[in-house]
Structure 1
Amino acid sequence: MHTQPAGSFLPPVNPAFVRLWRGFLTGRVMVALALLGLQGTGQIIYKSAEPALLAVCVGYLAATVVLSVLARHDPPAPYTGAQWVPSIGVDLVAITALQLLHVGNIDYTPLFGLPILMAAALGTLMLALGTAAGVTLLLLAWAWWTSTYQTTDDDTQRYLQGALTGTGYFIVSYLVHQLASRLAREQKVAQQSRIAAHVQAQVSALVIQNLSDGVLVVDESDTVHIANPAGLQLLGRVPVPQPPFSLAREAPWQPLVTLARHTFWQERPQTADANLLHPGQSPAGLHVRTWLTSTREAARQTHTERLCVMFLHDLHEMEARLRTEKLAAMGRMSAAVAHEIRNPLAAIVQANALLEEDLHDLAHKRLTHMVRQNADRLARIAEDVLDIARDQHPTSHAPESTIPLDESIAQIWSDWQTQDPMRRRAVLMLGADAAQVEFDAEHLRRVLVNLLDNALRYVGHEPDSLAVITHASPTGQVSLQVWSDGAPMDKSVQRHLFEPFFSSESRSSGLGLYICRELCQRHGAFISCQRFSRTTLRGETGGNAFTVDFRRTAPARGTAPLRFDTSVA
């Protein structure tokens, strides 16, 4: 590949440069053929033998053909150098030889325009002016030759003609070079604009494809030209059609057709709620917004097609999002309320304890026991709400000590299981060996207890329906998993699983999993929920797995490995 110095205007690898170079090569071959044909025909007609002229024409033709074959895909660099000798140099030598050897009134000097145009269009300004200067010197030398060795009366006229022709060549070379430079700059700008438009189209397509909201691009004949996966899914048709397709061919899509037509007719954005009623399916509620790419007058002036862009939003998702925002606002208010009820609640607990000491009737004792249980529940809910308020923290992680994961999990599990041994049964599989994790011990206790309490609500009655598993991968990734054989979660529940005050049960505060996520994020860990199958005594059993991936840390040295694989009942 040729290098290009500063000041050259067109890279040799440019496709337009290559096309222009090939055009000049073809033009040179055609000129060489024409010269050979004219010389041969003239000598036959006039019955004159001029072998030198024929030899020059044949040599010029051979040189142009060879260069056209060898350099067709490898044009020379545009700056001045020896690489132009096979083209410009050969042209100058051949035309000069024809001018010197011919006998008669034929003038070959107009052919000098070919190398000058080639230098001006494909080379630098210096090459163009240098070629014009060389041609001018040749013309003046020819005028001197004729005035010296030929007896003529128009010597002065020959000098003036040579100078005038050379001046014209200078002007032509300069203008052609300026025009070529301008065209090259415009082509470069156009190419950059084309690349920018291509990149923008790719980015737009990528953004549209990954939008959670549906996008449809519809023309005035109700044809969908672009549709992202979310839009096709919201249309509710199986199998999903691929654009282009007609939006009017399916009866359930008629509300969208009507809205698109109103948008084209009124030429302004539209917003509406639509229900798509598919046979055998529940109605699909959509919130639809439309925009036009251009008005009718603008499309007529730019000769472009008007398109309607439709954004489809799932009404159920919007309602769920709104509900989540309301619950978050309620949560902030609940934090203030929880702070205020702690003192009265403490007084109620204390008064109930004093009252219980003086009661002997079993019915009354049951009532005080109910008061104590519900007061404790209220105290836990208030504490959870206040924990959320206290756990607002920056994203940076403060330095903290490491704890042995398996040993800590075993202790937390033992404390939790002893509170209700008959009901709290599980398989404990600790396989993290001596892995150390950066996590506060009390925070780890709260995370695991919350996950166990949550799993206990949906667990089966088998001894291995609940499992606590730790694992350390060869790459150093340490994880904790709480698995239960509960039924699959509804997608709407799973999407909002870690949001505050979201719960599928009326007796739950909806804060446990949210607190787990907040504590994990504080320590650089990540918590997730997946549907996961594992081998139990009943065979392969599906269940819900909550997994905590801890931040990687160097393993502790000198710690004895600790491994459990026991069934606790």
Structure 2
Amino acid sequence: MKLELPQRDVGLADDFSRSEPLRYLNLFRLTLAGLFLVAGPSLHLGSDSPTIFFGVSFAYVAAVLSFGFPDAARLLGHNRLVTVQVLVDVTSLTLIMWASGGYRSGIPILILIALAGAGLVGQGRMVLFYAAYATVAVLLENMFRLLSGRETVDFFTVGITCIGFFAIAQVARLLALRAIANENLARQRGVDLASQLRLNRQIIQDMQDGVLVVGEGGVVRQFNPQAVALLGAELREGATLGEHAPALERELRRRAEHGDSAHSLRADGSGKMLLARFLPAGEANETLVYLEDFDRIHRQIQQVKLAALGRLTASIAHEIRNPLASVYQAAELLREEKRGDMQARLIRIIGNNAQRIDRLVADVLALGRRDEALPEALPLAEFVDEFIEEFDVAESGARGVVVNRVPPGLEMAMDRAHLRQILWNLVGNARRHCSGAPAAVKIDAALRDDGRVALDVSDDGPGIAEALRAQVFEPFFTTHSKGTGLGLYISRELAEANGAVLELCVTPPAEAGTTAALPGAHFRIIGRVKP
């Protein structure tokens, strides 16, 4: 955050920011004035004029005491008080220097300290005025000492000291500006942080999930109202989970033993089924616990399913309407038609459209069985051989066109019926679009670096146009006149139900011993090795 300082040093106008340095400066003045009175002669001060020395010392003490009370700042104002104090400091120290042997007494060092303090508590150009006043005072003292015949120093040395007055005053001024700017920035950041903390606290209080911070030994540090509602327990800070939520305490202990990050449990008080997620809270031995209501999650899933079912039902109604219209029209014509060849044609139309409706219903039923996945470790090479034999019976001439190149020993965790349905859709599409030559459709498999298995189905057909690649998994999208458009969509849903991924690869794999990619489509199933 960038902090803008106004042109006339509003930062230093903040009396509160300068009251603390001024208090320490007054303490320094009082100590210095008292030292002049008590130990002045011992320090060889006032040797030239003892009367002037003690008189100025008494007056300095009185001035320090008078202007050091809080009422002085209230009556004179902070800026006027600082100006009066600095003028008193410089005047008193100059007179003491006159009475103590001049420049060699060391008093100019004390004037430098007074100007440094003035730079910290002063305002704007007044700091330069204080340095100018001190310069004039020291030069006049040395000049009067010269005129009165007393011992003096050369004016060049005094001039160097006077330049130091301006330098120390300006440096102190800049340091004060920087300190106050940092103080204002820190104060603003503190306000922003407090506001953010209030906002975070409000969000945590109002969020639908329960949140708890649990310390060592299962001690509850913090919690929100939703955690109380979900657990059905009167939680309180400092109590242990075992007193109010023993089921959650057991899951927390199990997490510490096994390192799992999420557990399901039934709350003892409310009887609700909850999903508990455990995360480190950042502090030593503290755990952040998120509680989610399974009923709410199921309701949300049900709403999503109902919305998807509504869209699917509308699409199915639209898809069924066309073949049904053809069936009705062919049936009407069949009653009126007397020629045998035309009757056979109409009966064929009715049969084809009835099969199309049957395939559509079968695909929808397969989609409804996606949640019934029973994954098992399937030996891929043997499974693909059995699949090709079955596919060859249904699609004559498939053997030799569809080849199995899966190496022995590989396994994939999939539901047997689901993997058969996926391969049937993928190989059926590949068989339809391939060249029909031997080994035109290939089924490969390999173990990936991440420990998962990739099962590939590729063909040597024209492939999928770039403009259509993003639509191939959409329901009811098809380029085949007799297709339902649900094959790839259902295949992907079945793969996800088994914890696998079905994807369309950019290019099919290259032939062994070559680097050029083959034409055609290339689909890949990536699944686990074990259930």
User: Normalising to structure 2: TM-score of the pair?
Assistant: 0.51
- The equivalent of 1:195 in structure 2 is 191
Distance in 1, matches of 2:93 and 2:45, equals: 22
Local SS of the residue matching 1:287: strand
Q: Of residues 245, 250, 256 in structure 2, which corresponds to 1:255?
A: 250
| Distance in structure 1 (CA, Å) of the matches to 2:73 and 2:89 | 20
* CA deviation after TM superposition for structure 1 residue 207, in Å: 0.7
Q: Give the SS at the match of 2:212.
A: strand
Task: Check 1:189–1:70 CA distance in 2 against 1; reply closer, same or farther (3 A cut).
Answer: closer
Taking the aligned partners of 2:117 and 2:44, their CA distance within structure 1 comes to 31
Residue aligning to 1:122: 121
Counterpart of 1:243 in structure 2 is: 237
Q: Deviations over 1:281-328 (max 9, x none)?
A: x7331112233345xxxxxxxxx5464322111222222333344445
The structure 2 residue matched to 1:91, chosen from 75, 79, 89, is: 89
Measure, in 1, the Cα distance between the counterparts of 2:83 and 2:130: 11
Alignment of 1:286-325 (within 5 A): 286-294=274-282, 305=284, 307-325=286-304
Structure 2 CA distance for aligned equivalents of residues 231 and 73 of structure 1? 55
Counterparts of 1:36 and 1:107 in 2: how far apart (Å)? 17
Matching residue of 1:230 = 226
Query: Structure 1 residues 37 and 10, CA, compared in 2 at 3 Å: closer, same or farther?
Result: farther
Q: Would the alpha carbon gap of residues 137 and 45 (structure 1) be closer, same or farther in structure 2, given more than 3 Å must change? A: closer
- Local SS of the residue matching 1:150: coil
Is 1:149 paired with 2:148? yes
> Residue in 1 aligned with 2:32?
31
- Whether the 8 Å CA contact 1:255–1:274 is kept in 2: the answer is no
**Whole-angstrom distance in 2 between the partners of 1:65 and 1:331:** 88
Tell me, yes or no, if the aligned pair for 1:247 and 1:257 is still in contact at 8 Å.
Answer: no
- Alpha-carbon distance in structure 1 between the residues aligned to 2:86 and 2:231: 67
Task: Evaluate the alpha carbon distance shift between residue 195 and residue 31 of structure 1 in structure 2; reply closer, same or farther with a 3 A threshold.
Answer: same
| TM superposition shift of 1:200 | 1.0
**Aligned partners of 2:126 and 2:112: how far apart in 1?**
14
Q: What is the alpha-carbon distance in structure 2 between the residues aligned to residue 94 and residue 308 of structure 1?
A: 66
Tell me which residue corresponds to 1:8: 9
Tell me the SS of whatever aligns to 2:11.
coil
| Higher alpha-carbon deviation: 102-111 or 169-178 | 102-111
Cα 1:143–1:211 change in 2 (3 A) is same
Distance in 2 (alpha carbons) for counterparts of 1:67 and 1:60: 11
Q: Whole-Å Cα distance in 2 between the matches of residues 44 and 183 of structure 1?
A: 36
Deviations 1:234-285 (A, max 9, x none): 2222xx12223323455333234236536xx85xx8222122335xxx7331
The one-letter code of the counterpart of 1:29 is L
Report if the CA contact (8 A) 1:128-1:177 is conserved. Answer: yes
8 Å contact from structure 2 (residues 12, 180) kept in 1: no
1:60 and 2:54 matched: no
Name the CA distance, whole Å, in 2 between partners of 1:150 and 1:142: 12
What are the within-5 Å matches in structure 2 for residues 106-121 of structure 1? 106-121=105-120
User: Which AA in structure 1 matches 2:267?
Assistant: L
Q: 2:169 aligns with which of 170, 173, 178?
A: 173
Label 1:147 to 1:109 Cα distance change in 2 as closer, same or farther (>3 A).
Answer: same
Is the aligned partner of 1:215 residue 2:216?
Answer: no
1:142-541 alignment to 2 at 5 Å? 142-152=141-151, 155=152, 157-237=153-233, 240-250=234-244, 251-258=246-253, 261=256, 266=259, 270-277=261-268, 283-294=271-282, 305=284, 307-330=286-309
**Using the alignment, how far apart are the partners of 1:71 and 1:59 within structure 2?**
20
Deviation track 1:315-361 (CA, whole Å, cap 9, x = no partner) reads 22222333344445556677899999xxxxxxxxxxxxxxxxxxxxx
Whole-Å separation in 2 of the counterparts to 1:256 and 1:60: 75
TM norm structure 1 = 0.48
- Tell me which amino acid in the other structure corresponds to 1:287: L
Q: Distance in 2 between matches of 1:139 and 1:177?
A: 22
Contact 2:117–2:172, Cα closer than 8 Å, also in 1:
no
Secondary structure at 1:212 match in 2: coil
Change in Cα spacing, 1:198 to 1:163, as seen in structure 2 (3 Å) is same
SS of equivalent residue, structure 2 residue 154: helix
Cα distance change on mapping 1:291 and 1:19 into 2, 3 Å: same
What's the counterpart of residue 356 of structure 1?
Answer: none
Once the 2 structures are TM-superposed, how far is the Cα of residue 231 of structure 1 from its aligned partner? Answer: 0.8
Offset at residue 93 of structure 1 (A): 1.8
| 8 Å CA contact 1:10, 1:17 repeated in 2 | no
Once residues 38 and 179 of structure 2 are traced to their aligned partners in structure 1, the CA distance between those partners, rounded to angstroms, is 36
Q: How many residues align?
A: 314
Shift in CA distance, 210/73, structure 1 to aligned 2, threshold 3 Å? farther
Q: Distance in 2 between matches of 1:132 and 1:49?
A: 26
SS in 1 for 2:125: helix
Instruction: Answer yes or no: is the 8 Å Cα contact 2:12–2:177 preserved in 1.
Output: no
Distance 1:311 1:183, change over 3 A: same
Identity, % of aligned pairs?
A: 19
Partner of residue 372, structure 2:
none
Structure 1 unmatched ranges of 5 or more = 295-303, 341-569
For residues 10 and 306 of structure 1, the distance between their equivalents in structure 2, rounded to whole angstroms, comes to 44
Q: Deviations over 1:122-145 (max 9, x none)?
A: 224633333223222222222211
CA apart distance, 1:230: 0.6
Q: Is the 8 A contact 1:215 1:227 kept in 2?
A: yes
- Cα distance in 1 for partners of 2:278, 2:161 equals 67
CA distance in 1, matches of 2:33, 2:226: 65
Partner deviation per Cα, 1:453-478 (whole Å, 9 max, x = no partner): xxxxxxxxxxxxxxxxxxxxxxxxxx
Residues 275 and 292, structure 2, Cα contact 8 Å, conserved in 1: yes
- TM-aligned CA distance change 1:186 to 1:75, over 3 Å: farther
What residue is the counterpart of 1:564 in the other structure? none
The letter of the residue matching 2:273 is: G
Q: What letter is aligned with 2:67?
A: L
DSSP-derived class of the 2:236 partner: coil
Residues 12-40 of structure 1: per-residue CA shift (max 9 Å, x gap) = 43644221121112222222222222348
Say which one has the larger Rg. Answer: 2
Mapping of residues 556-567 of structure 1, within 5 Å: none
Deviation at 1:43, TM superposition (A): 11
Runs of 5+ consecutive residues of structure 2 not aligned to the other structure: 320-531
Name the residue aligned to 2:374. none
Q: CA shift at 1:206, angstroms?
A: 0.8
- Residue 313 of structure 1 aligns with an amino acid whose one-letter code is E
Measure, in 2, the Cα distance between the counterparts of 1:122 and 1:44. 29
Greater fraction of residues in helix: 2
